[in-house]
Amino acid sequence: MQPTLSAPTAPLASPRSATVASPGLTSTSHRIKVIRRDGSSTTLNIGKIRAVVDWACTGLEVNAIALEAGLTTRLRDGISTREIQDNLISCALEMCSPDEPDWRYVAGRLQIWSLWKDTLVSRGYQYGQYLKTVQAKVAAHQYDERILIYSEEELKEAGYWINADWDTDYDYAGAVLLTSRYLLPDELPQEALLTCALLLASVEAPENRLKWARRFYEAIAARKISLATPILANLRVPGGSLTSCFIIAMEDNLESIFGEVTNTARISKNGGGVGVNVSRIRATGSWVMQKANASGGVIPWIKLLNDTAIAVNQGGRRAGAVTVGLDVWHMDVPEFLEMQAENGDQRRKAYDIFPQLILPDEFMRRVIAKEDWTLVDPYEVQANLGIDLATLWGQDFDQAYQRIEAELDQKITLYKRINARELFKHIMRAQVETGMPYLAFKDTLNRANPNKHDGYIPGVNLCTESFSNVTPGQTAHCCNLVSLNLANLDDKDLPQMSQIAVRLLDNTIDLTHPPFAEAQEHNRRYRTIGVGCMGLADWLAKRRLSYDSLTEINRLFEEMGYWCTQASMELAKERGFYPAFPGSDWSQGLLIGSKPVAWFSQNAAKPERWAKLADDIQTYGIRNSHITAIAPNTSSSLVQGCTASILPVYSRFFYDKWAKGTVPIAPPFINNCFWFYPENKTLNQVKVVKAVAAMQQWIDTGISMELLFNLNQGVYFPDDPERSLNAKDIFETLVLAWESGCKAIYYIRTVQKDNFKEADADCVACAN
């Protein structure tokens, strides 16, 4: 974290101002008129500019005089104070480089300074009158009136907790995202975070509310815990949904299909990301009303979801975000893989959804063995054999699938035989071209499902890290997310922050407004949450470790997994276990990933505490059926000032193109740990897969794992500069992910001819 500063409410006096001057500034200052933010005019005061520049540069490895000099040529008569501020920001950004990365913090502080001044002009005060802010925003229907559960005295006391210094910790990218995406009109950052904390604690017992609110606020404001976008953006406003991730499934009838399209619209309206499983829908050429070859298959319905995502555009912020999942045995898989290609019938294309394929172990075994695979129509299989193939996994799927293949040309007439390896190559070609489909390993998902007694997991969510049981018309998976910021955590912080994160998220379940009934029922029955993390690359760099440091990575995620699970057990003592707990794997003494205590005795650094935890859970239950999930955090990590999720940095320093121009992006410890940040664009992805597999052992839901393959010569093979990565290398890496127990693969990205080929989606809709 950067050095903190006292928040000035008036221009600061500078110890340099009497002795150091910029000739360009002083020679013209008496002739330049400046327009203040309130519209009045005054003579340019160099002392004020210098004071702000000094303040913005304090404690950073930059030369304040250079920033003053850069401003000289941009001054003119009639310039506004806002233009001066914007010019200072532009100068700071232009001077930012790998050698002087701290200029991005100078620009961030100047951005925050501008926000402070605008707020002062607009409402007449900055910090210091929190009660007044709350009352005004409740009256204007900008704040949820549930904040008034606190008395005026309590709100005044909470206002004293505000530490404006925390506003100065943001670099430019973080400051811009925070102010533009999350703040309400005339609202300051610490007011937003404090209001979130108070609301999160509002469901606590009255005597404990302020205690927990303060803990929540300090963890969030110090950027040790990051709230997912739906919580940070929607919690303060009346009627907001706090849920990041949803999964729904369609049955093979019009009522279910259109009902789930409506649910997709409701989710999108509230800013959530949704996964829609369509595996039950009959294939192209199937029967409709006893007429052969009448069905148009899954593509027309996917196109309907595609257009819904565009039409219901999250309140005008962006298009909806929908991933559509299809099991790999479905007859329409080949067309599904082509629905985002430019060629072909445009009426059967869907360019705005994110496809995912759900792969059972049997398919992967046949891919490796180069055996044939059979694509079938789920309607015919159900009608003629009574098998609902979409619900099956593991041994049950293997046996049913063998029975189906034994009935080909007899009871099963609509099918295709294809070599499994060739189909997998088709999948890989689509991934290299578009970054998708995502891959979900269905048997791995369901083996680790603690609620297999109560249903099954059909696929993954938009960012591939969150999933649980889904029953069409009854329950729709939904999950609320936060992330631990490892860049800002010391080892001693992890137990407390894990416990705070679990409690905070459990509270959101009682505060949120689910957008439809099936989501509400899922919340009630399973109480699914997802504590994730970001800044792993920073955590490793700070300790001079690498992604090869599997022992240390194991120990870190063992700590996270243990303390989050233990916290949920403690909550069960206090509040009761989730309703579906009886009969679950948790209730039978199985722990993270439905693994027996014997596994922990062999693999954990502290096995005795796991054995006790298993006993405690059997005695007291557990509050949440799923507890940990690591989201991609692409945007929120910028606000948090750390690297995204658990992946290496793409590049140690680069400029991102934003609407306001190019913005410098660098990890927080780049000054002191430059060479300890491996660049993902040149890192062998086998190392990434092995690291994620190590983490996955301690994460009970999933991890957003995107893979980045550099196709240039000599990158991975320094001893053979002519060799570049080939399809076999990528194939082996994807197979390794399945064999190592990874649950899903998010985007596949490629670098070719030193250009980063973007095959990405801004995951704001889901996690951040």
CATH topology of domain 245-443: Anaerobic Ribonucleotide-triphosphate Reductase Large Chain (3.20.70)
Q: What is the pLDDT of residue 737?
A: 98
Among candidate residues 359, 261, 248, the one with its CA nearest the CA of residue 310: 261
Asked whether residue 443 carries a pLDDT value surpassing 90, the answer given is yes
Task: Determine the Cα–Cα distance for residues 295 and 277; give it in Å rounded to an integer.
Answer: 18
Average pLDDT along the chain: 91
- Cis peptide, bond prior to residue 230, ω within 30 of zero: no
Catalytic hit among 191, 465, 518, 706: 465
Q: Answer yes or no: are the C-beta atoms of 176 and 149 closer than 8 Å.
A: no
- More confident position, 350 or 768: 350
Q: What is the pLDDT of residue 761?
A: 40
Mean pLDDT, rounded, for 456-477: 97
Asked whether residue 657 carries a pLDDT value surpassing 50, the answer given is yes
State pLDDT tens for residues 193-228: 999 999 999 999 999 999 999 999 999 999 999 999
Among candidate residues 656, 521, 666, the one with its CA nearest the CA of residue 103: 666
Asked whether residue 757 carries a pLDDT value surpassing 70, the answer given is no
Q: Answer yes or no: are the C-beta atoms of 38 and 82 closer than 8 Å.
A: no
Q: For 212, how many CA atoms within 13 A lie in the half-sphere containing its CB? A: 21
Catalytic hit among 461, 469, 480, 624: 461
Task: Determine the Cα–Cα distance for residues 750 and 645; give it in Å rounded to an integer.
Answer: 19
Mean pLDDT, rounded, for 477-506: 96
Can you give the pTM of this predicted structure? 0.92
Q: Answer yes or no: are the C-beta atoms of 768 and 640 closer than 8 Å.
A: no
CATH C-level class of 479-581+619-765: alpha beta
Residue 465 falls in the annotated catalytic set: yes
Q: What is the length of the chain?
A: 768
Burial of 315 (0-12, 13-18, 19+ CB in 10 A): exposed
Q: What is the pLDDT of residue 291?
A: 92
Neighbours of 737 (CB within 10 A): 26
Q: Label residue 317 by pLDDT band (50, 70, 90).
A: low
Of 17-26, 108-117, 602-611, 657-666, the one with minimum mean pLDDT is 17-26
Q: Answer yes or no: are the C-beta atoms of 586 and 622 closer than 8 Å.
A: yes
Q: Answer yes or no: are the C-beta atoms of 484 and 560 closer than 8 Å.
A: yes
Mean pLDDT, rounded, for 91-96: 93
Asked whether residue 93 carries a pLDDT value surpassing 80, the answer given is yes
Give per-residue burial for 646-668: e unless 16+ CB within 10 Å, then b. Answer: bbbbbbbbbeeeeeeeebbbbbb
Residue 742 falls in the annotated catalytic set: no
Among candidate residues 403, 456, 480, the one with its CA nearest the CA of residue 277: 456
Q: Answer yes or no: are the C-beta atoms of 233 and 764 closer than 8 Å.
A: no
Q: For 664, how many CA atoms within 13 A lie in the half-sphere containing its CB? A: 29
Block residue for tokens 């309130």:
38
Mean pLDDT, rounded, for 528-552: 97
For the chain, the helix, strand and coil percentages under 3-state DSSP, each to the nearest 5: 50, 15, 40
Return the structure tokens found at 329: 């045995």
Task: Determine the Cα–Cα distance for residues 123 and 137; give it in Å rounded to an integer.
Answer: 12
Catalytic hit among 463, 478, 763, 766: 463
Asked whether residue 468 carries a pLDDT value surpassing 50, the answer given is yes
Residue 196 falls in the annotated catalytic set: no
Residue 745 φ then ψ, to 5°: -125, 125
Q: What is the pLDDT of residue 49?
A: 85
How far is residue 594 from each of residues 337, 451, 460, 493, 693, measured CA to CA in Å? Answer: 33, 9, 18, 27, 16
Q: Answer yes or no: are the C-beta atoms of 532 and 538 closer than 8 Å.
A: no
Task: Determine the Cα–Cα distance for residues 705 and 693; give it in Å rounded to an integer.
Answer: 10
Q: Where are the alpha helices (DSSP H) in 354-493?
A: 361-369, 378-385, 394-406, 420-434, 442-447
Whether 245-443 shares its CATH topology with 479-581+619-765 is answered yes
Mean pLDDT, rounded, for 650-669: 87
Q: Where are the alpha helices (DSSP H) in 152-207?
A: 152-159, 172-177, 189-200
How far is residue 734 from each of residues 136, 302, 692, 738, measured CA to CA in Å? Answer: 54, 26, 13, 7
Could you list the beta-strand ranges (E) of 516-599: 529-534
How far is residue 499 from each of residues 207, 215, 432, 482, 608, measured CA to CA in Å? Answer: 19, 11, 40, 12, 20
Domain boundaries defined on the chain: 1-114, 127-222, 245-443, 479-581+619-765
Asked whether residue 734 carries a pLDDT value surpassing 50, the answer given is yes
Asked whether residue 353 carries a pLDDT value surpassing 70, the answer given is yes
Mean pLDDT, rounded, for 533-541: 98
The helix (run of H) or strand (run of E) holding residue 375 is strand 372-376
Q: Label residue 762 by pLDDT band (50, 70, 90).
A: very low
Asked whether residue 18 carries a pLDDT value surpassing 80, the answer given is no
State pLDDT tens for residues 420-438: 999 999 999 999 999 999 9
Task: Determine the Cα–Cα distance for residues 104 and 654; give it in Å rounded to an integer.
Answer: 12
Among candidate residues 468, 522, 521, the one with its CA nearest the CA of residue 700: 468
Asked whether residue 720 carries a pLDDT value surpassing 90, the answer given is no
Q: Label residue 2 by pLDDT band (50, 70, 90).
A: very low
Q: Label residue 26 by pLDDT band (50, 70, 90).
A: low
Asked whether residue 107 carries a pLDDT value surpassing 80, the answer given is yes
Q: Label residue 3 by pLDDT band (50, 70, 90).
A: very low
Of 75-79, 418-422, 458-462, the one with minimum mean pLDDT is 75-79
Residue 750 φ then ψ, to 5°: -135, 150
3-state SS string for 131-157:
HHHHHHHHHCCCCCHHHHHCCHHHHHH
Task: Determine the Cα–Cα distance for residues 388 and 740; give it in Å rounded to an integer.
Answer: 29
